[in-house]
Structure 1
Amino acid sequence: MFGRIVLSFCLAGAFLLAGAKSEEALRSAIVKVYSVIKTPSYQTPWSSSIKQVSGSGAVISGGRILTNAHVVANRTFIEVQRYGDRKRYIAQVEAVSHQLDLALLRVRDPRFFEGIEPLKLGTLPQIEQRVSVYGFPMGGDTLSVTAGVVSRIEHQQYVHSGESFLAIQIDAAVNPGNSGGPAISDGKIVGVVMEGIQKAQNISYLVPTVMIRHFMKDLEDGRLDGVPAFAALTQPMENPTLKKHYGLGSHDGGVLVDKVLELGGLQGILKPGDVITAIDGHPIQEDATVAFRDGEYTNYEYYVQLHQMGEKAAMDVLRKGKKLSLEIPLNKKADDLLLVGTYQYDRMPRYFIFGGYVFAPLTRNLAVRVARSHISLIPYVEEFSTKKRKEVVLLLRVLPSAISRGDYSLVFWPVSKVDGKPVESFASFYREVYDGNATEVTLQNKMGMQVIIDRKEAEKRQKEILRRYNIEYDRSPDLRAKGGD
């Protein structure tokens, strides 16, 4: 009996020791990420500001560090520091998905990885499953660990991109600096911390491993294509009269196709009035959700987003009472479809100046900053591109000079026509302004209001105006790269 007690104590001690080693090995894979970022100004697109931010990350297979895209967005310089070491190592971004708020970093110095056991990706956790969040939040320099449980799993808007994907909500405390750190359960990563709701009590969100794996698979060919979007607008089928009108029974589900987007590649395949009842064999409920696990539901586009770009999704469709099985090509992401694309990162804003008149495309980055004072821009953000209009061009501002008197008050002024021609894109607008032969450049907005610029005077006074306002270049780097003074 005594021998059994001694053996039990020995086994318990061994398990505790193994647990301690496992925890120590886990912590060694957690890193702090230091980024110097260059934040562009979308209201004065030739200028920018520099600041330092920090986040967290985890070493995974292949000598890579997994973190958030927003930790390294607009980066100019990155360093990483491993747990238990005060030395910082220079890192580079290997790949970044601003859609999914994920990034992979590389460190060239092999000494950084000495003694580190890479963390592995786990599966989608269960509701109420316990998780531990590792990272370097504000309030200290050493590693922090907070515990919580999985509260819910469903589609949420990712703040960094503005797009909606599957997300995990947890009740562990998360603060600035935790971003990019792993949430661990049973020794494996179940998600990457992307945000916390500061005004709520312990509500935080993770990018789940199902989306991390999508990111990893996308990179296998050496190119990041992104997550496909469904190029049609739909509505739920909860209303009983709506169901009856389109031939559905009271207990049937599905989504009604309202519009097939012009540039989405689905013309001639789907039609307005179609009812999509299932996707990849998964029935769509009347509230436009699908089951991703028994008893757990999320937006039906989940099964679109599991695909890689270029693949096809199988859809069951009811068209005028007839059941069809269709293959839907998935060749577009949200940026390809929106008139005003998703948030931009890692590049300076596009612009050009002509005689003190500053022009730029309308971006989401700009729209959200000025929405309260210029609500007329909001409708553009909700529109989709067409063959005739792929971007909104703004007269962003007017730099006062002798040739622009009377126009100083024009800011964020959408240009509908240039020299009588509808504006298709920023690139075509730029060519029309610079390559036109008319003595005047005539701009119109949708209300018919005109701005007329004397071409010779604009060209003559260009350099003088730039010097006056201390602006080095009259156009953005992408336009300078194409040549022209």
Structure 2
Amino acid sequence: MHRIPTVLLCAALLALSAVQALPAAEEESQIEAAVVSIDVTAQRGDWYSPWQRAGILQFTGSGFLVGPGQVMTNAHVVSDAKQILVRRNGNSRPYFARVEFIAHDSDLALLRVSDPSFDAGVAPLRLGDLPSLLTRVRTYGFPAGGEKISRTEGVVSRIQFVTYVHSSADAHLAVQTDSAINPGNSGGPVIQDGLVVGVAFQVSAELNDVGYFIPTTVVQRFLDDIRDGSYDGYAEMAIRSSNLNNEAYRAFLRLPAERGGVVVDAVLPASSADGLVLPGDVILAIGVHTVGNDGNILYHGHTLPFEQIAEEKQVGDVLRLTLWRDGGELRREIPLRGLPDAERVRSRFDVLPDYIVYAGLVFMELDRAYMETFGNFWEQAPDDLLYEQFFRRDEHPQDPPRRAVVLSRILPHAVNRNYRDSANSLVSRINGVPISGLTSIPAALARPQGGEQIFELGDVGNLLILNAAQADAAHAEILRQYGVAQDRRLP
């Protein structure tokens, strides 16, 4: 496991930096002409009152041309967008844009501007390679929504895996720089020797004057993914591993002294490696890269976690592992696929929450977006919800994924009086029917027991009982009373 430093999103943000030796005036002019400001009007779903939308938001970001009519920016700049306007540097005319592809797991988006005059005579920027440590970079963008382009310079100080704050759950390679960071620069290009080496996207919450940009290894993977017209997302090995420096453990595994690697602690069920890699296996190599006892490989002159090789793969690709098992070496080919429940652990964007309302009882599936209704650090969240969302999978990695359902709110009415304290409870059964996901609820409600709707809450089965006939009769009245236009939105 890799310790991930805490990072904060720069709201619509960032400015990092670019270039070994300053570009010639003509090259500088070409770069600036390809950088755009982005004005966004957005409206998210409301995970507290899921039948309605949250308030309208307006914010700014930056982007740059990567192809005819195509603008690269951050996903967090254009998430939940209702209107997107882009302006080229030096041109005050706004152009309408739309999201063509978006990757919330890697905080990247590709916009399309259909008006051919938008980029007439402007050359798209070209992608470069991963920059070397201690080299200078320059970031371009429009901080705080200003009309004038900004350039800031800094030094590449670290290349490592960090949590991408937009999704709050995905860790990818990022490049750290000491370039000045200002809100509004998110999505701007980071340039070195006239080439894009990254996309500015977030800042550190722990260190002053430290920002991160998304390297072109991640950007190119995104562009490769969308070549077929859709974004499939990251393939996941879903292997939990530990460093292998303890001599007693190495002797127990009968691992020769000259061999390095990491030991597999767990493999998530239904993941790419399930059944092919076992707990207790030692990963000696990934592809052609030898894995050290610290879990690192040598990658294009950089020491990086071995997961970087899997990071570059697409869904459907094959990953080759060299393993040590039962005192001998073997090889495995892993057909890569995504995790089926990955969205449950991410912040949610560009979707509306699913729900069911019955007689004032509001049911939702437990996911990160729901937990975020308790605040940034979930300090007000019940312990059983925290455990279910964040810890159960870690403690029981071999259990199949489950779609936990929460009684999220109770809209007060005479038919459900005295049950308000039952809100934010996990729902285990309805009328004796085990509940797994919202789609299992309608059939369960259709089977009242002895004229009663019986809801079992939590692991201990606390009961909430409604008279079925009275609940059915009150249902439409409650919907009207609270302005709920539809009593459900199902996945």
Same fold (TM over 0.5): yes
With 259-268 and 347-356 compared, the bigger mean Cα shift is at: 259-268
**Match for residue 406 of structure 1?**
418
SS in 2 for 1:303: helix
Distance 1:268 1:199, change over 3 A: closer
Correspondent of 1:461 among 457, 474, 485: 474
Query: What does residue range 237-386 of structure 1 map to in structure 2 within 5 Å?
Result: 237-250=244-257, 252-294=259-301, 296-333=302-339, 336-338=340-342, 340-370=344-374, 371-374=378-381, 375-382=383-390, 383-384=392-393
**Match for residue 225 of structure 2?**
218
Q: What is the CA-CA distance between 1:164 and the residue it aligns to?
A: 0.5
Q: What is the CA-CA distance between 1:27 and the residue it aligns to?
A: 0.5
**Structure with bigger RCO (C-alpha 8 Å, 6+ apart):** 2
With 245-254 and 364-373 compared, the bigger mean Cα shift is at: 245-254
* TM-score calculated relative to the size of structure 2: 0.89
Quick check: 2:174–2:212 contact (8 Å CA) kept in 1? Answer: yes
**Match for residue 432 of structure 1?**
443
Deviations 1:81-109 (A, max 9, x none): 11001111100111001011000001111
Q: 2:147, 2:207 → 1: CA distance?
A: 25
With 150-159 and 389-398 compared, the bigger mean Cα shift is at: 389-398
Alignment partner of 1:31 is 2:42:
no
Correspondent of 1:22 among 11, 15, 27: 27
Correspondent of 2:99 among 89, 93, 98: 93
SS in 1 for 2:24: helix
Quick check: 2:237–2:273 contact (8 Å CA) kept in 1? Answer: no
Distance 1:389 1:303, change over 3 A: closer
The amino acid of 2:365's aligned partner reads P
Quick check: 2:431–2:448 contact (8 Å CA) kept in 1? Answer: no
Distance 1:265 1:424, change over 3 A: farther
With 303-312 and 431-440 compared, the bigger mean Cα shift is at: 431-440
Q: What is the CA-CA distance between 1:37 and the residue it aligns to?
A: 0.8
Q: 1:238, 1:160 → 2: CA distance?
A: 34
Deviations 1:101-140 (A, max 9, x none): 0000011111111221110111111111111110011173
Structure 1: runs of 5+ lacking an equivalent: 1-15, 480-485
With 409-418 and 265-274 compared, the bigger mean Cα shift is at: 265-274
What's the Cα RMSD here? 2.1
The amino acid of 2:402's aligned partner reads K
Q: What is the CA-CA distance between 1:394 and the residue it aligns to?
A: 0.2
The amino acid of 2:195's aligned partner reads K
* TM-score calculated relative to the size of structure 1: 0.90
Aligned length: 459
Q: What is the CA-CA distance between 1:366 and the residue it aligns to?
A: 2.2
Q: What is the CA-CA distance between 1:415 and the residue it aligns to?
A: 1.1
Q: 1:464, 1:179 → 2: CA distance?
A: 47
Deviations 1:166-208 (A, max 9, x none): 1111111112111011101111110001112366322111111
Q: 2:445, 2:433 → 1: CA distance?
A: 14
**Match for residue 463 of structure 2?**
450
**Match for residue 123 of structure 1?**
129
SS in 1 for 2:127: coil
Quick check: 1:389–1:425 contact (8 Å CA) kept in 2? Answer: no
Q: 1:366, 1:287 → 2: CA distance?
A: 36
**Match for residue 80 of structure 2?**
74
Q: 1:466, 1:91 → 2: CA distance?
A: 37
Distance 1:128 1:440, change over 3 A: same
Quick check: 1:172–1:204 contact (8 Å CA) kept in 2? Answer: yes
Quick check: 2:23–2:194 contact (8 Å CA) kept in 1? Answer: no
Correspondent of 1:390 among 379, 382, 402: 402
- Percent identity reads 34
**Match for residue 11 of structure 2?**
none
SS in 2 for 1:195: strand
The amino acid of 1:105's aligned partner reads L
SS in 1 for 2:155: strand
Q: 1:469, 1:17 → 2: CA distance?
A: 61
Q: 1:183, 1:211 → 2: CA distance?
A: 14
Alignment partner of 1:102 is 2:115:
no
SS in 1 for 2:344: coil
The amino acid of 1:377's aligned partner reads L
Quick check: 2:48–2:373 contact (8 Å CA) kept in 1? Answer: no
Quick check: 2:269–2:400 contact (8 Å CA) kept in 1? Answer: no
Q: 1:17, 1:343 → 2: CA distance?
A: 39
Deviations 1:21-67 (A, max 9, x none): 21111101000111111122212212311110110000112321000
With 157-166 and 443-452 compared, the bigger mean Cα shift is at: 443-452
The amino acid of 1:379's aligned partner reads Y
